[in-house]
Amino acid sequence: MENNQVELRKLGLVDYKEAWDYQENLFDQIVADKQQKRDGQIEIKTPNFLLFCEHPHVYTIGKSGKESNLLINENMLKSRGASLYKINRGGDITYHGPGQLVAYPIIDLDNFGLSIKSYIDHLEEVIIRVLKRYGIDATRSTGATGVWLDAENPVKARKICAIGVRTSHWVSMHGFAFNISTDLSYFEHIIPCGIQGKSVTSLEKEIGGKVEMEEVSNFVIEEFETVFNMKINQQ
């Protein structure tokens, strides 16, 4: 391990494209540092960043996604105040909106000795541990990324956290979207992650009460530090 220090930046409610551009800038910075380090030009530790935010209503389609999994047309999108982006992460279609904790780790996986698979496993483990704090038994689902409840029950299976990442030069982008108090009706307009017959849920729906986003965010920070063995520094 070379650098387990991670800088946390809380962006609040931010336009999806603005956050995407922000990620790209940080990503490019880390990749450039890695390249110079590899070429022997500099001797530095590559930085790591973690962005927390919420987005206005938006649907995003990953590289392997199908537009047919969006069930409404452009006019209906506008009527619901939502936008649509095709992006460079893995995965299919998902929704982001207010009440959803979106986390974008832009980290050098070499700093943590992680493969891409183990990185995704670590992200899932963070959310599984946070949900356990609320008395919710969440798991992974065979053949699908993200965090699920009753994952192996074809009738009850429901996703509470979507994961979609991009990595290049062993640096990560994008991340997860954790439904806290999300308006779940927006998921009715898509086939979430391209998976037929499985529904979506939120933390507040599962516990039947209100949850403070700040509280959940703090739990996520603590579990990131434990699961990834990282030290998160807040601005």
Q: Which residues are catalytically annotated?
A: 193
Beta bridge partners of 199: 158
With 0-12 / 13-18 / 19 or more C-beta atoms within 10 angstroms meaning exposed / middle / buried, residue 110 is middle
Q: How far is CA 31 from CA 71, 134, 140, in A?
A: 37, 38, 30
Report the C-alpha gap between 146 and 140 in whole angstroms. Answer: 7
Give 14's contacts (C-beta < 8 A, 6+ positions apart). Answer: 22, 53, 54, 55
